[in-house]
Structure 1
Amino acid sequence: MQVAQYLTEQLALWEVRRIYGVAGDAILPWLDALGKQHQIKFVRCRHESAAAMMASAEAKLTGKPAVCTATSGPGTVNLLNGLADAHMDRVPVIAITGQVETYQLGGGYKQYVQQEGLLGPISHFSTTVASPEAIGEVLHKAFVTSMLNKGVSHLAICKDVFSRTTGAPLLPSLPRISPSVQADPMEVEQAADILLKAQKPLLLLGVGARQAKGACRTLAEKLGAGILITLGGKGVIPESHPLVLGGLGEGGSKAGLQALAEADLFIILGATWYPRAYLPKGLSVVQVDCNPEAFHAEPFLISVTADVNEVLSIWQRRLEGRRPNRDWVSRMEQLHLHVWEETRQLYQQDGDGPLKPETVINALHKAIRDDAIVALDTGEHTLWFNRAFRSTDQTPLFSGKWRTMGYALPAAIAAKLLDPTRQVAAIVGDGGLQMNLAELMTVVEQELAFPIIVLNNGTLGLEEWKMTQNGMTPYGTRMQNPDFARLAEAFGIAARTVRHTGELEEAMEEAFAAHHPMLVDVHCTLPTLTELKREIPFQAQA
């Protein structure tokens, strides 16, 4: 069969159900093959960067390889931003791009760029397919490499190769790849000994703890440990739990910092990043992660390289009969009440004036379902969500280490395509929305229904705040925005503009109850530097 047909049938056998991309000259033969079958849906995006973000978001939600595509030259270059997000957050994404004809390789042909060098820094495998007989082997290698390394693999297929015949056999399945790492019993037992001795333990839960929700809660209660939660860890344990103290860092709580200052042991479960500047000197740290690259060079660190679930099951047996320090538990419960009072004060608004972003986050908390997916953009509103959103069992979806703007809308599209029955919401800033604004048309075209909540303050708020914090005069941060509601309506999306507190709750309820997409343009205030210093515990060195 032709390579284009082989590629399509092999991906379908490996349970690929969506390919995100933008049409272009070098992949036209493959698009022709995709259009003649019904097992794989081609999600036509407006920009290749958004296509790669969608693939990355799908991989974050499933843990399985997701696929995106683009043409040669500018199409491939446009994929880089979304692929970098997958690479940095360690999720399996396969990028299949077109390339110029085999006889044009290395020359000055239009839209030619040496793609392996271009994608090398953000991929584990990248190659050019210049022979139809190579397609089977390299496609298999790309998937296995991506799954094994939890990252990006890339195939550039020459345009003329798509239409040539291959004898490569179709493989019914991929080899099973176990993501877990065998625990070292000595490491686990050494860490357990430290846990048994601790009188004032504190937990930090990250995205790697999501698959061990029940075990994390049991551990915290047996230890009597306070619980800090990263943005990726939101939903691991409901924030109403009396041991939960909010987050750590710019979006964290004052109570969490106080607990950290008093603790005698810091236990990190599945968190690959945390603001190290907040750690008191000399504090003992036990960190569990299956990825050795996640461990930080702390002088008092005990590292356990293993799956969090496996380690917790062993620790729980060792902790049988251990009684928590009641004085420490009482202190954590007291600080928990302080956190709730902090967030209650954040939500408070005088009268019916301009909206604070914290008030919008509170309205979101009231409107959203417990099991919803919340797609977040990168910006000031991400900090407020991290600090002020009282999660129950929601799943946040965001650009973690890459932190690209423009992520929320493509991520929400992928989440809704993946599970149409699950509630999804996109929370975006005015700057982030305009980076991928055209994907509103993708929402309409794919007939997706979810709310798009825009926090509109006319500035790149986090950048403006940081410039002021560091003694600079803000410049290049203020934005002149369009009327987002009218713009959404031009795309065929229902919209409302909210300028005052009294309008917010009704607009949120309408957006979340709608069976069609709806954009809510919420005009927010920009906090002053004094307010930000008071409300966000920030250290410049973090």
Structure 2
Amino acid sequence: MQVATFLTAQLTKWGVKRIYGVAGDALFAWLESLGNQEEIHYVSCKHEAAAAMMASAEAKLTGRPSVCTATMGPGSINLLNGLADAWADRVPVVAITGQVETYKLGGAYKQYIPQEDVMRPVCKYTTTVTHPDAIGMVLHKAFVTSSEQRGVSHIAICKDVFGQLTQSRIIPELPRVASSISPDRIEMEQAAELLLRSKKPVLLLGVGARQEAKGCRRLAEQLGAGVLLTLGAKGMLDESHPLVLGGLGEGGSESGLHALAKADLLVILGASWFPRSYIPKYLPIIQVDSHPDSVHAHPQLFSVIANLDDVLSLWTRRLEMRELDDAWEEQVERWHAEFWEETERLTDQGADERIKPETLIHELGNVLKEDAIITLDTGEHTLWFNRAFRASAQFPLFSGKWRTMGFGLPAAIAAKLSHPERQVVCLTGDGGLQMHLAELMTAVEQSVSILLVVVNNATLGLEEIKMKQAGYTPFGMKLRNPDFVRWAEACGVDGRAVQTIADLRSTLNELRDVERLTLLDVSCTPPTLSERKKQIPFQAQA
């Protein structure tokens, strides 16, 4: 069969459901193949960066390799921002791009660029297919590499190769990726001894601990430990639990800082993010992670390289003999109450007042379903989400380490296509939305029901705050926004605008069960985020 036909058939066999892309002449043969079948849904995007962000978002939700595509030259380069997000957050994405004809490689041909050189910094594997018989082996390696190494693979296929016949044969299934590693029993036991000796422990949970939420909760209750949640861990434990103290860092809580100042041990589970300036310098740390390269370079840190489920099962057995420190647990519960009071204080506004972003986010939490997926753009509202949103079991989807603006709307489209049965809400700033505003039409074309909430304060809020904190006068931050409601209506989307707290509450209640694509333009105050550095002095333990 032709390479283009083989590519479609093999991806179908491996369970690929969607391909996100933008058309271009190097892909014509493959696009025709995709148009002649129904198993794979081709999502036609407006910009390649958005297509790659959609693939990254899908991979974050499903854990399986997702696929995006673009043509040669500018198309392939435009993918880079979304691929870098997948690379930074270690999720499996396969990018398949067109390239110039084989006889034009290396020449001064229009739109030619050596794609392997460009892609290599964000890829675990990248290659160019110049012979039709290579496609089977190369595609197999790309998927296995992305699955096993949790990252991006890239295949560039020359334009003339797509139409050539290949001897490659369809492989029924991919090899199973072994997820377990051999833990060191001595290492786990040594860490257990540290836990047993600890009187004032604190847990920091990251996105890597989500699959072991029940075990983490049990461990916290056995220890009477305060629990801090990174943004990626929000929703894995109900924040009404009396041991939960909020987050850490700029989006964290004062209660968390108080707990760390008094703690005698910090246990990091599944978190590769390490806000060093917020952690007391001499606090002993245990970190559990299956990836050694995620372990932090810290002189007080003891690492356990293992799968979290193996460690938790051993620790919970060992801790059955440990007596709880009632005084510490009671103190943690007082800090928990203060954590909730802090949120209520921050979001206490009168009905006629202009809306603060923290109030918007807090009110949004009152109307979302428990299993909602919340896609976040990057900006001031992201930090306020961590501070002010009280999650029960919702799932936040965001650009973690890459922190690109423009992620929210593409991610929401991918989330709804991947989980049509779940409520999907996109929380985006006006700056982030404008980066991929054209993807609103992609959402329309895909008939996805998303609530798109725009934090409209006419500025790049987080950058304005940081510029002021650095001692500069903000410049280049102000935004001239379109009328987002009229824009939405021009795209065939329902649009609403709110100006006051009373408007916000009534409108959110009306939209609680909305089952159509809706944009809510929320006029917000100028940036309100206060700097949260290490405000609580560390007191050495006796």
Shorter-chain TM-score bucket reads: over 0.9
Residue type at the aligned position of 1:233: A
Q: Distance in 2 between matches of 1:452 and 1:69?
A: 26
- Once the two structures are TM-superposed, the CA of residue 286 in structure 1 deviates from its matched residue by 0.2
Aligned to 1:460: 460
Residues 391 and 537 from structure 1, CA distance in 2 versus in 1: closer, same or farther, beyond 3 angstroms? farther
Q: What secondary structure sits across from 2:231 in the alignment?
A: coil
Which residue of structure 1 aligns with residue 540 of structure 2?
none
| Residue pairs, 1:481-500, within 5 angstroms | 481-500=481-500
Other-structure match for 1:190:
190
- Does structure 2 retain, via aligned residues, the 8 Å contact 1:68–1:95? yes
| Partners of 2:202 and 2:228 within 8 A in 1 | yes
Residue deviations 1:364-419 (CA, integer Å, cap 9, x gap): 10110111110000000000000110000011000000000000100010010001
> Partners in 2 of 1:514 and 1:298 — Cα distance?
48
Report the Cα offset of residue 181 of structure 1. 2.2
Aligned equivalents of 1:47, 1:307: Cα separation in 2 = 38
Letter in 1 for 2:9: E
Which residue number in structure 2 is paired with residue 4 of structure 1? 4
Shift of 1:488: 0.8
Whether contact under 8 Å (1:86, 1:151) holds in the other structure is yes
CA distance in 2, matches of 1:407, 1:366: 24
| Counterpart code for 2:482 | P
How far, CA to CA, are the matches of 2:71 and 2:182 in structure 1? Answer: 41
Residue 291 (structure 1) shift = 1.2
2:287 matches 1:287: yes
Tell me which residue corresponds to 2:409.
Answer: 409
Return closer, same or farther for 1:245/1:510 CA change in 2, 3 Å cut-off.
Answer: same
Could you tell me whether the CA contact under 8 Å between 2:65 and 2:146 is conserved in 1?
A: yes
Give yes or no for the alignment of 1:424 onto 2:424: yes
- Residue of structure 2 in register with 1:212 after alignment: 212
- Give the aligned residue type for 2:524: C
Deviation at 1:538, TM superposition (A): 6.6
The reply to whether residue 520 of structure 1 matches residue 520 of structure 2 is: yes
Q: Which residue of 2 aligns with 1:315?
A: 315
* Partner Cα separation in structure 2 for residue 511 and residue 66 of structure 1: 31
**Aligned ranges 1:31-42 → 2 under 5 Å:** 31-42=31-42
For residue 476 of structure 2, what is the aligned residue in structure 1?
476
Provide the alpha-carbon RMSD of the alignment: 1.0
Listed one character per residue, the Cα deviations across residues 467-519 of structure 1 (whole Å, up to 9, x for unaligned) are 11111000001111111111111111101011111100122233332221000
Q: CA deviation at 1:353?
A: 1.6
Q: Distance in 1 between matches of 2:8 and 2:301?
A: 48
Choose from 529, 532, 538 the match for 2:530: 532
* 1:102 and 2:115 are equivalent in the alignment: no
Q: Which residue of 1 aligns with 2:28?
A: 28
Normalised to the residue count of structure 1, the TM-score between the two structures is: 0.98
- What residue number does 2:257 align with? 257
Quote the offset at 1:351 in angstroms: 4.2
Tell me how far 1:350 sits from its aligned partner.
3.1
Q: What is the rounded CA distance, in whole Å, between the counterparts of 1:352 and 1:438 in structure 2?
A: 33
Amino acid across the alignment from 1:4? A
CA distance in 1, matches of 2:76, 2:82: 11
* Letter in structure 1 aligned against 2:377: D
| Correspondence for 1:59 | 59
- Where 2:177 maps in the other structure, the secondary structure is coil
Unaligned runs of 5+ in 1: none
Deviation for aligned residue 1:282: 1.2
CA apart distance, 1:537: 4.7
The residue that corresponds to 2:120 in the other structure is 120
Following superposition, the deviation at residue 180 of structure 1 comes to 2.7
Aligned 8 A contact 1:406 1:435 in 2: yes
Which residue in 2 is equivalent to 1:444?
444
Deviates more, 1:384-393 or 1:177-186: 177-186
SS in 2 for 1:6: helix
CA–CA separation in structure 1 for the residues paired with 2:390 and 2:324: 26
Distance across 2 between alignment mates of 1:338 and 1:321: 31
Quick one: distance in 2 between partners of 1:510 and 1:85? 35
CA distance in 1, matches of 2:262, 2:12: 54
**Unaligned 5+ runs, structure 2:** 536-542
Give the residue type in structure 2 aligned to 1:117: D
Q: Bigger shift: 208-217 or 290-299?
A: 290-299
Q: Which aligned pairs between 1:153-232 and structure 2 lie closer than 5 A?
A: 153-232=153-232
- In 2, Cα distance between the equivalents of 1:454 and 1:141? 41
**Which one-letter code corresponds to 2:49 in the other structure?**
S
Alignment check: 8 A CA contact 2:257 2:534 kept: no
Aligned to 1:50: 50
Write the distance in 2 (CA, Å) between the matches of 1:88 and 1:132.
Answer: 32
CA distance, structure 1, for counterparts of residue 479 and residue 511 of structure 2: 26
Q: Percent identity?
A: 59
1:241 paired residue number: 241
Letter matched to residue 464 of structure 2: E
Equivalent residue for 2:434?
Answer: 434
